[in-house]
Amino acid sequence: MEPWVIIAVAAAAFQTLRFVLQKQLSVGALSAGGATLARFWYSAPFVAALVPLYLAVRELPLPAIEVSFWPYALAGGTSQILATWCVVALFAERNFAVGITFKKTEVVQTALVGFVILGDRVSPLGVAAILMGLVGVLALSEAPKLGGRIWTGLKSRATLLGIASGACFAVSAVGYRGATLAVDSPDPLLRAGLSLAIITILQTAALSFWLANQEPGQVSRVAAAWRTAVWIGLSGLAGSLCWFTAFTLQNAAIVFAVGQVEVIFSILAATLIFGERTRLRELIGMVLITLSVIAVVVVR
Query: What pLDDT is recorded for position 140?
Result: 56
CA distance readout (Å), 97 to 104, 157, 210, 287: 11, 12, 30, 19
- Which among 120, 83, 119, 123 has a CA at the least distance from the CA of 103? 83
Q: What is the pLDDT of residues 27-36, one digit of tens each?
A: 566 787 887 8
Question: Per-residue confidence at 66, pLDDT binned at 50, 70, 90?
Answer: very high
Mean pLDDT of 49-59: 93
Average pLDDT of the chain to the nearest whole number: 80
Residue 220 corresponds to which amino acid?
A: S
Contact 243, 236 (CB under 8 A): no
Residues 36 and 91: beta-carbon distance below 8 Å: no
Q: What is the largest CA-CA distance in the chain?
A: 60
Amino acid in the structure at residue 29: A
Amino acid letter, 80: Q
Mean pLDDT of 170-184: 92
Higher pLDDT, 209 or 164: 209
> Is the per-residue pLDDT at 171 higher than 70?
yes
37 vs 182, higher pLDDT: 182
Bridge-partner residues for 65, per DSSP?
Answer: 183
Report pLDDT digits (tens) over 220-266. 988 888 887 888 888 988 998 998 999 888 888 888 888 878 777 87
Residue pLDDT, tens place only, 125-160: 777 877 777 676 666 555 444 444 545 545 567 667
β-sheet bridge partners, residue 183: 65
- The secondary structure of the chain, three-state, reads CCHHHHHHHHHHHHHHHHHHHHHHHHCCCCCHHHHHHHHHHCCHHHHHHHHHHHHHHHCCCCCEECCCHHHHHHHHHHHHHHHHHHHHHHCCCCCHHHHHHHHCCHHHHHHHHHHHHCCCCCCHHHHHHHHHHHHHHHHHHCCHHHCCCHHHHCCCHHHHHHHHHHHHHHHHHHHHHHHHHCEECCCHHHHHHHHHHHHHHHHHHHHHHHHHHHCCCHHHHHHHCHHHHHHHHHHHHHHHHHHHHHHHHCCHHHHHHHCCHHHHHHHHHHHHHHCCCCCHHHHHHHHHHHHHHHHHHHHC
Cα–Cα distance, 193 to 244 (Å, whole number): 8
